Amino acid sequence: MNLRQRRRTALKDGESGQSMVEYALVTALIAVVAIVAVETLGDGVVAVFENIASAISDI
């Protein structure tokens, strides 16, 4: 079944709004996970660079 037929079937069945909400929820979940990962890894990266900076300044 090609994309056009699936869209037609979804529109006929009234599922297009439901699938849009599902896509929005999945996108929001991925965004939250990405933000948490960046914040968690960001603190670790800052610590590594601070250690490198202090090691260089001791030389």
Q: Quick check: helix, strand or coil at residue 57? A: helix
Please state whether the predicted TM-score (pTM) of the whole model is above 0.85.
no
pLDDT tens sequence for the chain (59 residues): 676 777 666 666 655 667 888 899 999 999 999 999 988 898 888 899 999 999 998 87
Q: Where are the domains of the chain?
A: 16-58
DSSP string covering 2-55:
-HHHHHHHHHHHT-HHHHHHHHHHHHHHHHHHHHHHHHHHHHHHHHHHHHHHHH
Residue with tokens 């900076």: 53
The DSSP code for 59 is -
The DSSP code for 1 is -
